[in-house]
């Protein structure tokens, strides 16, 4: 399983765009990149998943360069309610049941 590295913490202000980058230098050809969000005292919640280029949904965008050795989760115009821990995971079907959650990135959004 590819190991991921992401910043331990980030601060932002309401209304700003936040970009969280995850490094996964050993990503395999069949691996997908998935991001989860976790609020205090709640279970993680799926945000977005991608394989290459750009993926966008109602919550976030995911940018993946051609070499796929990193990915960037982009949160547009954050609010206080976006304060959470964000986890980057790399894997493929068949590895299910072995999702590796690292320490994640704690995002603190300030007023």
Partner 1 sequence: DADVTQTPRNRITKTGKRIMLECSQTKGHDRMYWYRQDPGLGLRLIYYSFDVKDINKGEISDGYSVSRQAQAKFSLSLESAIPNQTALYFCATSDAAPLAPYQETQYFGPGTRLLVL
Of the candidate residues 51, 56, 77, 110, the single one contacting partner 1 (CB under 8 A): 51
Query: Is residue 54 part of the contact set for partner 1 (CB under 8 A)?
Result: no
| Residues 54/33, Cβ–Cβ less than 8 Å | no
Order of strands across the sheet that contains 105-110: 9-13, 105-110, 84-91, 32-38, 45-50
In the chain, count H helices and then E strands. 0, 9
Residue placing its CB nearer to partner 1 in the complex, 43 or 111: 43
Closer by beta carbon to partner 1, 21 or else 102? 102
**Does residue 39 belong to the site contacting partner 1 (CB under 8 A)?**
no
Q: Judged by CB, which is closer to partner 1: 9, or 19?
A: 9
CB of 86 to partner 1, least distance (A): 11
Answer yes or no: are the C-beta atoms of 88 and 7 closer than 8 Å: no
The answer to whether 98 contacts partner 1 (rule: CB under 8 A) is yes
Is there a contact between 37 and 86 (Cβ–Cβ < 8 Å)? yes
Q: Which residues bind partner 1 (CB under 8 A)?
A: 30-32, 34, 41-46, 49, 51, 87, 89, 91-93, 95-104
């Amino acid at each position: 399983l590819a190991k991921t590295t992401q910043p331990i913490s980030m601060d932002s202000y309401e209304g700003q765009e936040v970009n969280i980058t995850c490094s996964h230098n050993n990503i395999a050809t069949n691996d997908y990149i998935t991001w989860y969000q976790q609020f205090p005292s709640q279970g993680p919640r799926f945000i977005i998943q991608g394989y290459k280029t750009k993926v966008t949904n109602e919550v976030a965008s995911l940018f993946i360069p051609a070499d796929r050795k990193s990915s960037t989760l982009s949160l547009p115009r954050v609010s206080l309610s976006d304060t959470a821990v964000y986890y980057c995971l790399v894997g493929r079907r068949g590895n299910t049941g072995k999702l590796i959650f690292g320490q994640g990135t704690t995002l603190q959004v300030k007023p």
